[in-house]
Structure 1
Amino acid sequence: SETEMATEKTEYTPVQGEHSPPSLPGQPAFPIGFDNMNMPGQNMYGGPAVPGGLPVPSGLPFPPPTAFGPGVPGAFGMPVHPPSGPGYGEKPSCPPYFPPGQDNVGNYSDFDFGLDNKSIRRAFIRKVFLVLTAQLMVTFAFVAVFTFVDQVKVFVQVNTWTYLVSYGIFFVSVCVISCCGSVRRRHPWNLIALSVLTLSMSYMVGMIASFHDTDTVVMAVGITAVVCFTVVIFSLQTKCDFTSCHGVLFVCLIVLILFGLLCIIIRDRILHIVYAGLGALLFTCFLAVDTQLLLGNKELSLSPEEYVFAALNLYTDIINIFLYILAIIGRARGS
């Protein structure tokens, strides 16, 4: 009825400034409105009073944020030492970050990094063989001109001082490329130095070939091509590691140089043929080692930035093999 509804409406009449709802069963009523924000105590749920009249259940590990900022221990009746519990104060765990190409122990994988990247290594090998092909074409073009053109052959045989000039230029170029890493890695200075070296070496090889018969030169070129092609293919396919023998070959080179000085003193044709045969064999081994340095899967390897140095090594090996084979055939035929 209307009388009962009026009675129910007037059962609870809040005092002015008091906006708290009735208390829960078994708990005292505490005003939690805006008027009590500076009054320490508890709210209707048994927790500390907070600004703004927001009830806070008891048992929280840390005072929650308020409308005026994060909760501050000790303010408005909040505990100074918040209780500890499972998960309290722990930072969220995140998986560790590793750069691309690096595994979970800090090592770089074989797929994404530097020297072991197969695509980079293949591009490096192609670049080296392209540069080497250009060098050999220039050199054997000089050899053909100095061998088949009689005017050029007579000129270089009369003016032998040009050989010394070209040798000096070659020596300076080798020192610059071998000792100055900033030059051989910087484009276009590395290609300029390699071009100067190739031209000077080509002149010297052509001048040496001009003192031999045409048949001897052609035969030496053919044998050199077959030997070098076989050694390169074998070095690329075999599982034997020739790079571990680099120190032994260097000692053999020192011995060969001393043997060459002996041949200068003792002028004997047989001794010169033996010396030329040992030299061709030694530089054939050097060609196998320098070829495997390109692969990157042996004990020693070259950086992909060293394509000029790699091309220089292969070029000098092939030219030395050609000169020693030319000396063998020339001494054997008495030319």
Structure 2
Amino acid sequence: MTRGKVSVTNKTINGIEERVVPTAPPSYEEATAGGSPCHSGGYYSDHEMLTEWSWHDQNIRRIFIRKVYTILMTQLLITLAIVALFTFCDPVKIYIQANPGWYWASYAVFFVTYLTLSCCTGPRRRFPWNLILLAVFTASMAFMTAFVSSFYNTKSVMICLGITAMVCLSVTIFSFQTKIDITSCQGVLFVLCMTMFFCGIMLSIVLPFGYVPLLHAIYAVMGAILFTMFLAFDTQLLMENKRYTISPEEYIFATLNIYLDIIYIFSFLLQIFGTGQD
């Protein structure tokens, strides 16, 4: 009977027989327990490559991806509800537009929570503070998005929401199915970021002298393309067969990045296709 037992190999060294007992592979419970090597918090960096046995465990990978997209869907539903409230409810729309101070207050909350979740490893990995911070971040970002949307025509907002949903769904399916490793294209993303940065500086210099629709349209198109590429990049970070991967413990960080990509895609599409209220 050898079932459930670890095989023992005899090894002879200089005439002396030595019994070698190989180390048994960890079970799923040990792999996902808090004291396992890849979940103990001992990382050299936020994007450290996982140990081979942990990342190739399909159960861990499925749990990680399912957790990311469950939280992401909750964020998007909250954002959609707040945008719909600010778009279809005229009293709320009039009040918000007459009091822009709420926008700047939400921006301050967004900035603080974003820096905390992005730069501080402790709060980002400690339950339940990571979910609390993410909820506050989502509420502030949703408020800012809804505030901007309230200045556009209702039909154009709905059209941009539909375009954003189709773009994000297509990019997500492409990222999971393609053999192209987008995580290795960091140089292209850096060049596009620098182009966006200098275009933004030029736009801020030109605006005081008069609005230039063409320049603003070019800037919005570049922004939509850039964050669509970032969405594909951040989506492929969830996978194990690309050049760069992200730790399963960083589900908050992964969700944060994908959510921001989607919001920025919608914002830039609104600038391209949106029309002001009559």
Range class of TM-score, shorter chain: 0.7 to 0.9
Contact 1:166 1:201 in 2 (8 A): yes
1:93 to partner: Cα distance:
1.9
1:260 to partner: Cα distance:
1.5
Q: Which structure 2 residues correspond to residues 52-63 of structure 1 after superposition, within 5 A?
A: none
1:97 alignment partner in structure 2 = 22
**C-alpha distance in structure 1 between counterparts of 2:129 and 2:53, whole Å:** 27
Contact 1:111 1:118 in 2 (8 A): no
Count, aligned residues: 238
2:4 alignment partner in structure 1 = none
1:301 alignment partner in structure 2 = 245
Percent of paired sites with the same residue: 47
Q: Classify the secondary structure of the residue corresponding to 1:92.
A: strand
Q: Could you report, residue by residue, the CA deviation over 1:148-199 in whole angstroms, capped at 9, with x for unpaired residues?
A: 0001101111111111111111011111111111111111011011001000
Q: Which structure 2 residues correspond to residues 199-218 of structure 1 after superposition, within 5 A?
A: 199-218=139-158
**C-alpha distance in structure 2 between counterparts of 1:133 and 1:233, whole Å:** 16
More relative contact order, 1 or 2 (CA 8 Å, 6+ apart): 2
Q: Does 1:185 align with 2:110?
A: no
1:65 alignment partner in structure 2 = none
2:73 alignment partner in structure 1 = 133
Matched AA of 2:215:
L
1:154 alignment partner in structure 2 = 94
2:217 alignment partner in structure 1 = 273
1:111 to partner: Cα distance:
11
Contact 1:111 1:117 in 2 (8 A): no
2:106 alignment partner in structure 1 = 166
1:274 to partner: Cα distance:
1.0
Q: Classify the secondary structure of the residue corresponding to 1:239.
A: coil
**C-alpha distance in structure 2 between counterparts of 1:150 and 1:260, whole Å:** 32
1:291 alignment partner in structure 2 = 235
Q: Which stretch shows the higher mean deviation, 269-278 or 313-322? A: 269-278
Q: Which stretch shows the higher mean deviation, 138-147 or 112-121? A: 112-121
Q: Does 1:237 align with 2:177?
A: yes
2:256 alignment partner in structure 1 = 312
Matched AA of 2:226:
L
Contact 2:87 2:146 in 1 (8 A): yes
1:270 to partner: Cα distance:
1.2
Q: Could you report, residue by residue, the CA deviation over 1:218-263 in whole angstroms, capped at 9, with x for unpaired residues?
A: 0100000000100000000001000001243133213202211212
**C-alpha distance in structure 1 between counterparts of 2:107 and 2:52, whole Å:** 43
TM-score, normalised to structure 1's length? 0.68
1:99 to partner: Cα distance:
4.8
**C-alpha distance in structure 2 between counterparts of 1:182 and 1:264, whole Å:** 37
Q: Which structure 2 residues correspond to residues 72-87 of structure 1 after superposition, within 5 A?
A: none
1:296 to partner: Cα distance:
1.7
Gaps of 5+ in 2: 1-11, 27-49
Q: Could you report, residue by residue, the CA deviation over 1:104-162 in whole angstroms, capped at 9, with x for unpaired residues?
A: xxxxxx99822221110011001000000000000011100000000110111111111
Matched AA of 1:131:
I
Contact 2:231 2:262 in 1 (8 A): yes
2:41 alignment partner in structure 1 = none
**C-alpha distance in structure 2 between counterparts of 1:157 and 1:334, whole Å:** 13
**C-alpha distance in structure 2 between counterparts of 1:307 and 1:148, whole Å:** 34
TM-score, normalised to structure 2's length? 0.81
1:268 to partner: Cα distance:
0.4
Q: Which stretch shows the higher mean deviation, 288-297 or 255-264? A: 255-264
Q: Does 1:325 align with 2:269?
A: yes
1:334 to partner: Cα distance:
5.8
Matched AA of 2:266:
F
Contact 1:100 1:112 in 2 (8 A): no
1:224 alignment partner in structure 2 = 164
Q: Which stretch shows the higher mean deviation, 261-270 or 163-172? A: 261-270
**C-alpha distance in structure 1 between counterparts of 2:222 and 2:212, whole Å:** 16
From the CA coordinates, give the structure whose radius of gyration is larger.
1
**C-alpha distance in structure 2 between counterparts of 1:148 and 1:334, whole Å:** 15
**C-alpha distance in structure 2 between counterparts of 1:248 and 1:99, whole Å:** 44
The structure whose residues are more often helix, as a share, is: 2
Q: Classify the secondary structure of the residue corresponding to 2:17.
A: coil
